[in-house]
Amino acid sequence: MIIPALDLIKGNVVRLYQGNYHKKINYKINPLIYIKKYIEQDAEIINLIDLDGTQDPNKRQINLLKNLLGSINIVTQIGGGIRTSHDIEILLNAGATRVIIGSMAVQNFEEVKTWFINFGSEHIVLAVDIKIDANNFKRVATNGWQRISKINLEYIIEKFKSVGLQHVLCTDIDRDGTLIGPNIKLYQEITTKFPDITFQASGGISSLNDVALLRNSGVKSVVIGRALLEDKFTFSEAKRCWQKE
């Protein structure tokens, strides 16, 4: 499945280069226009990231998110600075289908486990954003990618399998926002190791050939941001490419 992605700062659609807030591209179109365009092309899920909330949960763009969600009828997964169970409640009550959990999964395993139990694993997406070193150690980043932990991807996934982990959004930070192509080897490796997890790939996608390669990598979905925003191809083209045998 192809999942269009929109990152939001102060109500504007943006893309960051490798998560760097100082390397920001602004797309001066109302996010609702993008979302409706994707829905018209039969998108089934939309991925929204509140980058203001990522930097400071107190600055979460909750009014914007409520307005967006109140104007559409589509599965949505939303992330950005989720620190408490109350944050999850707010987003689910606003109309989100799934809430994306990132940093807290590393910083407080036990707390996040209770979220899976209380809200249901179907309503939580575990975002695992990684930096891969020369030894193929996949270190998980936190705090809007500003910090690189000593925890690896495999450890995190094993930690949450016991509470029914279903959805994992895995991003290779070095690829994100770069249009240099996805890390196919990474996705082949993790989908083989964890066949019961529904993986979403993200980062570096620039062409329909990238989509085709990911289709055969084992992931169930591909999250695409910049390539769609910059008309490298349309959502409809990506969807047709994904559905090919």
Q: Which of 129, 172, 176, 210 is catalytic?
A: 129
pLDDT score at 145: 62
Is residue 244 scored above 90 in pLDDT? no
Is 129 among the residues known to form the active site?
yes
Catalytic pick among 7, 52, 176, 210: 7
**Three-class DSSP category at 182:** coil
Strands 221-224 and 198-202: parallel
Count up the domains in the chain and report the number: 1
Quickly state the pLDDT bin for 124 (edges 50, 70, 90).
very high
- Could you confirm whether 50 is annotated as catalytic? no
**What's this model's pTM, rounded to 2 decimal places?**
0.92
CA 25 to chain CA centroid, nearest Å: 18
| CATH number where 166 lies | 3.20.20.70
Counting residues of the chain whose pLDDT is more than 90, the rounded percentage is 71
For residue 204, what are the domain limits? 2-243
Distance between CA 172 and CA 127 in Å, rounded? 11
Strands (E), 112-210: 124-132, 138-142, 147-152, 167-172, 198-202
Least confident of 47-51, 180-184, 210-214: 180-184
Over residues 71-81, mean pLDDT:
93
